[in-house]
Amino acid sequence: METKAETSHKLVFEKEGVYLHTNAKRSNQDTTIPGFIRIVERGGEPALEWSALEDEGRNAAAVFYTKKDGEGGVEDTNFDPGYEPDWAVISTVKRDRVREHPPVKETSQWSFSLPLSELYSLRRSRFSLGRNFLVFTSRGGHPLPPLHFHRGGTRELLRALQRYIILAPSPVDGRLFLAYPHDSGALSQSFDELHLFDDGSSDLVSRFIQDPYATTFGGFSKVTNFFRGALRPPGSPFHPRGPQDHHGPPSADDEPGFELITCGVELGPKPDVTRGQPLDKWEEFLDPEGRVKDPQRIKELVFRGGITPSLRKDVWKFLLGFYPWNSTVKEREDILRMKTDEYFRMKVQWKSVSEEQEMRNSLLRGYRSLIERDVSRTDRHNTFFSGNDNPGLTLLNDVLMTYCMFNFDLGYVQGMSDLLAPLLFVTQNEVESFWCLTGFMEMVHQNFEESQEAMKQQLLQLSLLMKALDPELLDYLDSQDSGSLCFCFRWLLIWFKREFSFEDILSLWEVLWTRLPCENFHLLMAASILESQRGEFIGSDHDFNTILKHINELTMKLDLQTVLRGAEANYLQLACCKELPVKVQEVIGLYVPPSPDDETSPESESHETQQLQSQSQENIPHTITLPPPVCTVDTRQDGSMDSRCLH
């Protein structure tokens, strides 16, 4: 029997001191398990295996990944890590078929074996504690838990892997590599189909691996799209952690022998930012007929300091599109009359539905049930909604039901009651709060779509920002299965409604409604909050669950003005970066991809961006130098600020 084992199993590579961080929910299990990483040939086929140190006799791994069948089914696995992957919050995983696995001997529940022919990609990272970790993803899109090399050895492992496969580096993330067999025809064919190169050289793969930047310079955007698509295997319904982080600078890696491609972003120091006073005058901004004379100036003042509570009822209706900025007093009276009639026509539609009719309308019945449940627990600490039989709750219910008539496609989705409550509290009017809600929903309606593609996109954009602003912090979160930033989901869904006090939310939302200095300022706010927790995370023993717990416990503990200052400083720091990646520029509105249907000229966008960068301090003239380039911020006579970036 020993002779048979020796002929059927060949140990090619072995390294001790490779730890698997499980982040297990079960408190009676260790979250860090020491073990061995090996490359083993079994029956002539090489496989990557990890087994725990406690496994006596070094038995075969307990988990095997099956290959794809010939009919397009996806891979299946019995691997149950004991925790929910961090993308589970925003993805629904459906498997096309289940295949039986070959019987294996039970060992550690964490052990795994992955044939190298089934390896799709690997991601190599490092954070401040100095330890490297690798994340492997199978062709079925299944990411394995991160393997942490406490005693080094990643270079040797990667060299051993290159005996069997080609590791093609991504030109946009130096830590990400796609795995291909040495017969690289598939890789060449994939690039050929993109028509990236004019010479049609047959030596495309070697050129790309040796000098990816020079080879792909002329077709860089296509390469980016290629890798973005390639990182998610076809048919995979979820986005594995790591591969989508194809942006920003990798951490420095002093382990020689395996070339990494870096895309460095050198940012200058964060500028000091001071908030202003709230808008406390309104009439002086109106002409004799009631038109707002300078809407942009109003937005700038609101962004800088918010609005005095007594003026919110008037100004919010302009910020949310209920009234056009150039409307006269007479025109606004007509608009209110028309909008009131329209609202009650829609309200009558659901009010007139009989119980018998509703019994045959499961959609309306479902909306009513969900709204009644959410209304009963929305902001009940606020006197406007507290107590039983409160008329405020009735208005909240009626406006949300009427919105279902206004937007049949979306209807009601949990969280919308959180958006309406402050609007109703400020306007104290059913009709006005409804139309303000429709304006608010124009900004955030995609957050509530069933596909949740917009939420996934925002989490990806937040990751892009963090990669540029604090790559070390993102690396740390990534090492703890938190790189997708899914714990920020609630922040972005309802614009921090449950993270700040009710009064703070009134101030925050009016700032965000100005859409200054960019439409994604809420993402810069999220980045500011994460950066404020840097000291809590870096160097700690947090895992996925404790990170999630810590983030949730920030509720009502954040200082709004500090977060706003940090967010604006983030914007100015990025805006003054000379070589900011285009993807990051897109997120903060500095670059708008050309579109034949885009009615906004690039010149006007650029002019508006320059204006919106201004006013970072009040009353104190100063100059900020960010080498390179130079950003200057000067005080005007009226107290506002004028900033410029010199490249």
Residue 149: the pLDDT is 84
Give the separation between CA 51 and CA 16, rounded to whole angstroms: 10
Furthest-apart CA pair in the chain: how many Å? 100
**Per-residue DSSP letter, 511:** H
Quick: pLDDT tens for 310-327. Answer: 999 999 999 999 999 999
Residue 173: the pLDDT is 63
Domain range 309-442, CATH class? mainly alpha
Token representation of residue 355? 């119980």
Show the low-confidence residues of the chain (pLDDT under 70). Answer: 1-8, 22-31, 55-108, 126-131, 170-174, 183-264, 595-647
Residue 171: the pLDDT is 60
Give the separation between CA 37 and CA 157, rounded to whole angstroms: 9
> What are the residue ranges of CATH 1.10.8.270 in the chain?
309-442
Residues 6+ apart with CB under 8 A from 210: none
Give the separation between CA 328 and CA 330, rounded to whole angstroms: 5
Beta bridge pairs of residue 641? 635
Residue 174: the pLDDT is 65
CATH of 9-181 among 1.10.1660.10, 3.40.50.2300, 3.30.70.600, 2.30.29.230: 2.30.29.230
3-state secondary structure of 33: strand
357-379 in b/e form (b: 16+ CB < 10 A) is eeeeeeebeebbebbeebbeebb
Nearest CA among 203, 181, 183, 182 for reference residue 192: 203
Give the separation between CA 22 and CA 109, rounded to whole angstroms: 11
Nearest CA among 84, 110, 97 for reference residue 29: 110
Give the separation between CA 574 and CA 567, rounded to whole angstroms: 11
Residue 204: the pLDDT is 41
Residue 172: the pLDDT is 58
> What are the residue ranges of CATH 2.30.29.230 in the chain?
9-181
**Per-residue DSSP letter, 60:** P
Residue 335 in contact with residue 368, Cβ under 8 Å?
no
Q: Taken in order 312, 313, 314, 318, is the CA torsion positive or negative?
A: positive
Residue 485 in contact with residue 477, Cβ under 8 Å?
yes
DSSP 623-641: ----SSSEEEEEE-TTS-E
Quick: pLDDT tens for 379-431. Answer: 999 999 998 888 999 999 999 999 999 999 999 999 999 999 999 999 999 99
339 burial (CB, 10 Å; 0-12 / 13-18 / 19+) is middle
Give the separation between CA 334 and CA 329, rounded to whole angstroms: 9
DSSP 296-356: HHHHHHHHHH-B-HHHHHHHHHHHTTSS-TT--HHHHHHHHHHHHHHHHHHHHHHHT--HH
pTM exceeds 0.85 for this model: no
Question: Measuring CA to CA, how many Å separate 280 from each of 180, 306, 308, 311, 530?
Answer: 64, 9, 5, 7, 32
Distance of CA 626 to the CA centre of its chain: 28
Residue 279 in contact with residue 302, Cβ under 8 Å?
yes
Residues 6+ apart with CB under 8 A from 316: 307, 423, 426, 427, 436, 510, 513
**Per-residue DSSP letter, 144:** P
3-state secondary structure of 166: strand
Amino acid at the residue 501: S
Nearest CA among 12, 45, 52, 10 for reference residue 30: 52
